[in-house]
A and B are shown apart, each in its own frame.
Chain A
Amino acid sequence: MPENNSTGKFSRRKFVKGFGATVAGAVVLNPSIPKITKSLQKKIKISEKIKLNFNLNGKNVSTDIYPYNTLLEVLRKNMRLTGTKKTCNNGECGGCTVIINKQAIYSCHILAMDIEGKDVLTIEGIGDMHAGEVIRKAFKDMDGLQCGFCTPGQVMSAYALLLNNKKPSLDEIKTAMSGNLCRCGAYHNISASVIEASNKL
């Protein structure tokens, strides 16, 4: 940490607590999920793993994770699915976009624990579905990519959009896709791909 070497210092004021006393002797109650109940009673150490169950690309899976793991870490490391990319790891670029319960989500910016019991769809899971096939073909035909690194995230955002809105307007497409950065700047072709897919679906 840098120390102050500049003018305009403000001395730190004594912090006087405003109001409201904290409740002493808090009791941690457990959720109905038994394994977590057990863990909590023990107070999980960081070295201890917890079993996570969720539906991944249509299949029920379970894997051992640390409570602080993000979904992206679980997908790339535990599940060995590398289509979902780690790009900014801070919810700022969209390279890690997956679909959770029909919504586009940054998998790097959500705790894996939060997807317990939920449906997660990744780039690897959409190929078998008609919509996924159509979207993928549209990205190929319209050249909705350059280096391809952000592409799985773009495809997932497109998939989420078309899942909820079959015939989006150009403005709706721009808004829905705006959380996915493409440094190569293939945006025009990406929006054209979404339009093409929408027309074909």
Chain B
Amino acid sequence: MTRKLIKSVINIENKEHEFIGEVSLLEQETWGKNDTLKIIGKEISRIDAVDKISGTASYTSDINLPGQLYGKFLRSPYPSAKILKIDLSKANALKGVKHILTYENTAKYKWYYETSFLLDPIVRYEGDEVAFVAAESEEIAEEALKLISIEYAKLPFVVDTEKASTEKNIKVHNWGNIVEPSEYKRGNIETGFADADFTIEDEFRTSVVLHNPTEPHCSVVNWDNDELVIYDSTQAVYQIRELAANALGIEQEKVRVIKKYMGGGFGSKLDLGKYTIAAAIVSRELKKPVKVVMDRKEQNLCVGNRPDSIQKFKVGIKKEGLLTALQLNSMGTVGAFPEGAGLSWPAKTMYKCPNLLVNEKSILTNAGAARAFRAPGHVQGIFGLESLMDECAAKLNMNPLEFRLKNYTEVDPVSNQPYTSKKLKEAYKKAADLIGWEDWKAAGSSKSVNRIGLGMASQIWWGGGGPPAHANIKLDKKGNITIYSGTQDLGTGTYTFIAMVASEVLQIPIERFNVVIGDTKLCPYAPVSGGSMTAPSVSPAVRDAAERLKEKLMDTAAILFDEEKNSIKYSNGFCVNSDGSKKVSLSEIAGHLNEQDLLIKGSRNENPKGYAINTFGAQFAKVEVDTLTGKVTVLKISASYDIGRVLNKLTLDNQIRGGIIMGLGYALMEERIIDENFGKVLTTNLHTYKIPTMMDIPEIVIEIASDYDPMISNTGVKGVGEPAIIPTAAAIANAVNNALGVRIKSLPITPDKVLIALYVSK
């Protein structure tokens, strides 16, 4: 028996999911350290680089099917309204307009966990979908939107998180504005505070920020007889298949989702888009392909965001630096539809603290709905927690790193289980050395105009991946090898590491491998690319498949040589017999096979039971603050991580730097701004919604603290996409405090906040 079916629970993007799926029984030993390997861990250029660099890579938004129509949504200009009357006559009269969907002529497709419909007569945020036009060209579709006349009854609205949380009269949904408040208790909070020598209370706030991937959300759909083909810019082909089939009430097998390249997602492309289903409905009706591409304003209104947060902490500490109690009351807005704004996992799991009380609320407001955004919850939560930890250290006149080490935990404080691996201490040391932490002085030591500050923050995330995740490897008669897996490459290097893993096993150059991913028809199931779980889930399945292929090759060679299988040696793509007299290449073996091609399935193993699997890391920041202008310049960030095994050092460092830069944007400039009088978003383009440019970035140095996780899989890889962004804002905020001796407690730390804080502190 090489496989079995299991039930497993996995945390993806802060939500627990239960799967029943097939796993491979762990037959291969985890590889040794990377210095014993030939390919893994090296700096290998992307196998898809040439395609992307030369402009020949076809992204979803570049796909055009013959005879396709173009879809566009008419969106509500109001944050809350009821549609009274729809007049389509002028729009329908425009030449080239082929079909218009409104709630009046469209079935009630349930949406947002059944709290709304694909097209709902009630609109709950600026940007909510009102009508869908399909026309012969994008220009005609846009023109038609202007010709649709809608009579609205405006309804009262609320866009402020705190106001919505206590608002009695204005409800986003008739059942209220609070989504499933949650409570978590550990130990006894009262005893914990009673034991403390000091208590500190403080409040931290963060802003709503937007994913803004460069490629807008888009789909091109077509019905091929009764099969629906969806080209989608997505992080989750199988999930889109399931959700689209469910939405349309058809069999999953009748839906094929394809995504070869995609221009960034960061969590916003995990969900099924209304545009995809609207396009599918029209396409089915008119028997023509339909293409929908969001514009940048829609990107900023309608396809998700990171909730804001208001985090109220109370913490108890002993003189010698131990945490005795931690209380957290937090809320954040998830926009107009149910989502989660929880952020307490870092508070629950980062440090050893016996007594905890957490209350969290996700608040509905009349704004675009939240979606998972690169380490949802943790980015906000670490900012609050790690700012607070610095305040604790300051209270005790202790070095912030020393304070954190005093509260280090060797077991997961929630489950009390040991970790499969935890090299956070090593990560602290490496990152501290890289930034020059020995120069750290207490906050506010400098009185000059331009002040330098050092700060640090820790990171925890899941990222162990898990089953079910599969990869097929196919050897054809000519010796070509293709690997198929229903995973995705978001720019994270999936294509490349798949080839690298197979290359390591089969000992032939990576150029020999053709990698096909992101197609539900061709590829076996693999999980969504979210939660930092692609590499830890898929790489073991690829290794499993490659190892099984190697076995098969050796079996075949044994037959060819007429020898016992265990006497055959495999080396660099050749099978050699016992005395070395006979040698046959992989391609030659393939030629001997009677089958047209050999297809072998590999699968991810089950995660070890009784252990917690987490990634860990630390970032240290060096900043300069100009006390005259209030401008914060980040000079340097050092980062060190326990992310298990490094697969590809080149793409890994790139991805970590990218996470840090996104974290820098979160720390210093990104903020969705809504006018509270009208409930309308004021930052709907890329110069009012500011993301970092090449001029805004610091020097970044990275060192990895881990060799591999010895327990989780045959590759020992953990994920890194999310760990990369988690500690950045907190490290920068702590460095700003260190420079100024004044703490900025809300993000982003813009010049106005710095100047006001300095002015008030005088």
Contact = CB atoms under 8 A, between A and B. Distances in A.
* Touch A–B, Cβ below 8 Å: yes
Interface of A: 1-2, 5-6, 81-90, 92-93, 95, 122-124, 127, 136, 139-141, 143-152, 155, 173-175, 177-191
A136 B658 contact: no
A109 B59 CA distance: 22
Given A85-B214, A183-B214, 12 more contacts: A5-B678, A89-B295, A95-B214, A143-B46, A145-B49, A146-B658, A149-B262, A183-B266, A183-B662, A187-B694, A187-B697, A190-B694
Contacts of A122: 55
A83 B261 CA distance: 13
B760 interface: no
B58 interface: yes
Contacts of A89: 295-296
B54 A145 contact: no
Interface stretch (B283-291, B321-329, B601-609, B680-688): B680-688
Given A6-B677, A84-B55, A123-B55, A141 B266 contact: no
B263 interface: yes
B264 A152 contact: no
Counting contact residues on chain B (CB < 8 A from A), the size range is 35 or more
Contact of B655 (A5, A144, A146): A146
Given A87-B296, A136-B54, A183-B213, A143 B654 contact: yes
B49 A87 contact: no
Contacts of A174: 694-695
Contacts of A178: 693-695
B216 interface: yes
Contacts of B697: 185, 187-188
Name the residue among B52, B53, B61, B266 with the largest chain A CB count within 10 angstroms.
Answer: B53
Given A123-B55, A149-B59, A175 B695 contact: yes
A2 B678 contact: yes
A146 B654 contact: yes
A178 B687 CA distance: 13
| Closest A-B pairs by Cβ, 8 of them | A83-B55, A149-B263, A147-B491, A148-B52, A185-B658, A185-B661, A146-B491, A123-B55
A86 B700 CA distance: 30
B651 A143 contact: yes
A97 to B, nearest CB: 11
Contacts of A183: 211-214, 264, 266, 662, 691
A180 to B, nearest CB: 7
B160 interface: no
A198 to B, nearest CB: 15
Contact of B214 (A87, A136, A144): A87
Contacts of A95: 214
Name the residue among A122, A144, A147, A173 with the largest chain B CB count within 10 angstroms.
Answer: A147
Contacts of A81: 55
Main secondary structure of the interface of B (DSSP, over half): loop
B149 to A, nearest CB: 14
B153 interface: no
Contacts of A177: 694
A181 B691 contact: yes
Interface in B682-727: 685-687, 691-695, 697, 700
Contacts of B694: 173-174, 177-178, 180, 182, 187, 190-191
Interface string B646-664: 0000110011011111100
A175 B696 CA distance: 11
A69 to B, nearest CB: 9
B686 A143 contact: no
A73 B138 CA distance: 11
Contact of B57 (A92, A148, A180): A148
B651 A149 contact: no
A183 B78 CA distance: 29
Contact of A147 (B53, B215, B660, B695): B215
A155 B45 contact: no
A140 B50 contact: yes
19 contacts: A82-B62, A89-B296, A127-B54, A136-B54, A140-B45, A146-B492, A146-B654, A147-B213, A147-B261, A147-B490, A148-B48, A148-B491, A149-B262, A180-B694, A181-B691, A183-B213, A184-B264, A185-B658, A190-B694
A95 to B, nearest CB: 6
A152 B55 contact: yes
A186 B55 CA distance: 17
A78 B216 CA distance: 21
A185 B659 CA distance: 7
